[in-house]
Amino acid sequence: MRVIERINDLKAIIRSQKLSGKTIGLVPTMGYLHEGHLSLVKASKDDNDFTIMSIFVNPTQFGPQEDFEKYPRDMQRDTKLAESAGVDVIFAPSVFEMYPDGYKTYVDVEKITEVLCGKSRPGHFKGVTTVVCKLFNIVQPDKAYFGQKDAQQVIVINKMVRDLNMGIEIVTCPILREQDGLAMSSRNTYLSSGERNSSVILSKSLFEADQMIKDGERKAENIINHITSRISSEESAQIDYVQILDFNNLESIDNLIGKVLIALAVKFGRTRLIDNIVVEV
């Protein structure tokens, strides 16, 4: 496995892989790898001849008051994990390599970026789509792999790919969870042990919502109230949002029908966690 920092070096490797007819899978990450990231690698290896993982903590997707500086980073550990998962190349550019002086171009998907995390984190998705577009242009993968964990992100990226005719297949992989149900996340490392114990309420309340729907509940308000009251029972939890939306257009719905996204964002202390489930009603 090679670790490449320069765009031109990566392009040279990709050119030779493509010349020999290899298909290329891309797994974009911000590093500090966990099993969730590695499940994307596995999916890419199952589908493609050559897997590239990018590790880049992208400054343009963090707000000024957010955790860009203190986002966990451990390149040595990531290199070992990626290599044992069978990654062929890690692309780990510097911020300057991706955004040289005078950088001026951004990709902005409208409307569906104004709800959920887009509302709480203005500019976040503009940073995400810009960096993912750049990675797609650099790597020109056949397929790119994203986690359902960041449900809105994958919906926004699918929209960008369709709207801009990028011709890359986006593969969405299921959420990997800790044994107690907490969705794996690099940010879980910020949690104190008390917060870690409390955080299990997120997945618990979502699984309870799923059961309510299986039992016949169709009113979004009743489900949201249930999730909200369960999460509020944890003193350290501060709800950012609990919402039920149409999966296809991210519009709020009153009655559950079709493919539905139940998404939440909750802060424990200074750590903001997200989780979701998708249900077909």
Residue whose CB is less far from ligand AMP, 26 or 256: 26
Minimum Å distance from CB 220 to ligand AMP? Answer: 24
Minimum Å distance from CB 46 to ligand AMP? Answer: 15
Residue whose CB is less far from ligand AMP, 168 or 175: 175
Minimum Å distance from CB 81 to ligand AMP? Answer: 12
Minimum Å distance from CB 137 to ligand AMP? Answer: 18
DSSP states of 232-271 as a string? HTSTTEEEEEEEEEETTT--B-SB--SEEEEEEEEEETTE
Which residues is 166 bridged to in the sheet? none
Q: Is residue 245 within 8 Å of 115, Cβ to Cβ?
A: yes
Residue whose CB is less far from ligand AMP, 171 or 212: 171
Could you tell me if residue 280 is left (phi over 0), alpha (psi between -120 and 50 degrees) or otherwise beta?
A: beta
Residue whose CB is less far from ligand AMP, 38 or 227: 38
Q: Which residues bind ligand AMP (CB under 6 A)?
A: 29-30, 36-37, 39-40, 146-147, 149-150, 173, 175-176, 183-186
Specify whether 37 is catalytic. Answer: yes
Catalytic residues: 37
